[in-house]
Structure 1
Amino acid sequence: MALEIDPSDFKNLAVSVQDEGVCTVTLNRPAKRNALDIDTIEELIQFFSRAPRAGVRAVVLAGAGDHFCAGLDLIEHHNADRSPADFMHVCMRWHEAFNKMEYGGVPIIAALQGAVVGGGLELASAAHVRVMDETAYVALPEGQRGLFTGGGATIRVTDLVGKARTIDMMLTGRVYRGQEAINLGFAQYLVAGSSHDVALELARKAAENLPLSNFAICSAVSHMQNMSAFDAAYAEAVLAGVVNTQPESRARLAAFADKTAARVRPKA
């Protein structure tokens, strides 16, 4: 499948097109532990603005080298000596990027290793599925650096692990890793080998779904969490009416009806 994405358009992201409409997007500043400067944020906005209309069916989000992302590029922030208004607008661009990820309707599988801290955890929490390897660790160290989160930790990280735990992490710099991180909800998968390999496998599986079904899953759930239960039930019913009657689903329903579709069973 030819995708309308040109990898040469990106400098701080390494974009590669896999098969079946899957793209790998890799933060490509390993010497900086893939810290997020404003240029990288702008490239994330650019890619995830295009992806839904470019034939991208799933994305693996990764980091080059030993770390996924160490958060805000503190050297850039220090050297820029921004005004309050300037930094507010930087934060708004972070929110633009992460909103396009969470609400864009394309499944994003994050492959996590090494540092997933500060803005890196905010970035990971904007993905739909997170896979950690045994080196990955998560933290929100902003409080110890005289800072406050500006990329959505108060929203998405709190959604994952709760208000009390988020506040504790901010106040104390507490670090989580391994099975404890999984149990608390920071990620859905913990693997002994390559998080990237497992993320790619999951992305390929998600890409087999009908795009409209994936769009609903990867946008509507988040939207509905922002609604009252009454309004969410109405929106869910309307969306189900659209998705569950799409012409492309007829063959899949027929396969279920004639018992040729794969059955849902636990792994042995």
Structure 2
Amino acid sequence: MSEQFVTYELDGNVALVGIDRADKRNAISMDVMNQLLAAFLRAADEARCGVLFGHGDNFSAGLDLAEAAARLKSGAPSTPRSRGRWNGPLDQVARGGLPWIAALKGACIGGGLEIAAACHIRVADQTTFFALPEGRRGIFVGGGGSVRIQRLMGYARMADLMLTGRALNAAEGERANLCQYVVPAGQSLEKATELARAVAANAASTNWGVCAALPRVNDMAHDDGLFIEGLIGMAARSNESADRIGAFLGGRNKVAAPDKED
């Protein structure tokens, strides 16, 4: 039996999934990715929202380079299936219909950033740093980063990271759209879990539309996107929708104004 590298806890209707390989800065081997896929599928069956985090001081330093080097030295032929082996697990996150929130800290680089980019919301603490060092390693992104990370930060910023090897701190990452929240050191998991509980309280049909349909609409032509929007809007309507709208009209569930900046 392989060593267990992923933890799973169901906290009410929130699934807490942890990458548990702290001695390797949570580097992602195929065993780790296979265990993550099992956790993602389990969460889809029993949770309303998922939180993905890393044990220890880092979210993930990316691809397990020792495993990758051994595979290269073995001379095993590269096949389309072997090159895209992260796509299925991460598509389960990005387009599977269950909202996922990444709690980031320390290293979020290479494949770790690709995993975080598959989540719908990313919370970084002040120790977080982002990088794409593939150029220096002689490899290329292989976990959907060329699509997801580029759509988050744009070509120019992504090319800069890959070509120069520079790292971004948490504040720079927020400005580059790699995360939506920055919190004090050690508080990203707490904040992500707080957000997950709020997300889990939403109408499940709307959460599904945001997570499974909205990314696909982004891939469509203008007219096709509007057509699908109409279909998803109809599919999301239910008796629960009427109840929630009624609660708003009755003075409940109002949208609070954000705190004023100093």
Structure 2: 5+ residue stretches without partners: none
Q: What's the CA shift for 1:257? A: 2.2
Aligned to 2:192: 199
What's 1:210 paired with?
203
Q: Which residue of 2 aligns with 1:73?
A: 64
Aligned partner of 1:59: which letter? Answer: G
Q: Distance in 1 between matches of 2:41 and 2:189?
A: 23
1:29 pairs with 2:28 = no
Q: Secondary structure at the match of 1:159?
A: helix
Q: How far has the Cα of 1:87 moved from its partner?
A: 6.1
Structure 1 equivalent of residue 89 of structure 2: 97
- CA deviations 1:72-119 (Å, max 9, x no partner) are 000111123355744643332201111110001111110000000000
Q: Gapped runs of 5+ residues in structure 1?
A: 1-8
Contact 1:216 1:239 in 2 (8 A): yes
Letter in 2 for 1:68: F
**CA–CA distance in structure 2, aligned partners of residues 164 and 84 of structure 1:** 34
3-state SS, counterpart of residue 156 of structure 1: helix
Alpha-carbon distance in structure 2 between the residues aligned to 1:61 and 1:261? 28
Answering whether residue 11 of structure 2 is matched by residue 18 of structure 1, we say: yes
Residue 55 (1) aligns with residue 46 (2): yes
Residue 259 of structure 1: how far off its partner (Å) = 2.1
Q: How far, CA to CA, are the matches of 1:57 and 1:235 in structure 2?
A: 24
Alignment of 1:140-151 (within 5 A): 140-151=132-143
Give 1:128's aligned residue: 120
Instruction: Return the offset for 1:262.
Output: 3.0
- Secondary structure at 1:104 match in 2: coil
| Cα 1:224–1:83 shift into 2, 3 Å | farther
Alignment match, 1:6: none
Residues 143-152 or 118-127, more deviating: 143-152
Going from structure 1 to structure 2, the CA distance change for 1:10 and 1:188 (only over 3 Å counts) comes to: farther
41-50 vs 121-130, which deviates more? Answer: 41-50
1:253 has 2:220 as partner: no
Letter in 1 for 2:184: A
1:5: which partner in 2?
Answer: none
Partners of 2:242 and 2:119 lie apart in 1 by 30
Matched residue type, 2:101:
I
Judged with a 3 Å threshold, the aligned counterparts in structure 2 of structure 1 residues 69 and 48 are, in CA distance, closer, same or farther, namely: same
Preserved CA contact (<8 Å) 1:42 1:93: no
- Cα deviation, 1:229-264, whole Å, max 9, x if unaligned, reads 110000001110111x21222211111222233344
**Cα distance in structure 2, aligned partners of 1:246 and 1:97:** 30
Shift of 1:267: 3.0
In the alignment of these two chains, the number of paired residues is 257
* Percent of pairs with identical residues: 37
CA RMSD of aligned residues (A): 1.7
SS of 2:172's equivalent in the other structure is: helix
Contact kept? 1:48, 1:101, Cα under 8 Å: yes
Q: For 1:36, what is the secondary structure of its paired residue?
A: coil
Say which SS state the counterpart of residue 46 (structure 2) adopts: coil
**Alignment check: 8 A CA contact 1:48 1:104 kept:** no
What's 1:109 paired with?
Answer: 101
Whole-angstrom distance in 2 between the partners of 1:91 and 1:30: 26
Q: Which amino acid aligns with 1:210?
A: A
**Residue 38 of structure 1 contacts residue 90 of structure 1 at CA under 8 Å; is this kept in 2?**
no
Who is 1:187 aligned against? 179
Between stretches 76-85 and 124-133, larger displacement belongs to 76-85
Quick one: which amino acid aligns to residue 96 of structure 2? G
TM-aligned CA distance change 1:83 to 1:239, over 3 Å: farther
Q: Among residues 149, 161, 165, which one is paired with 2:157 in the alignment?
A: 165
- Kindly report structure 1 stretches of 4+ aligned residues shifted beyond 6 Å: none
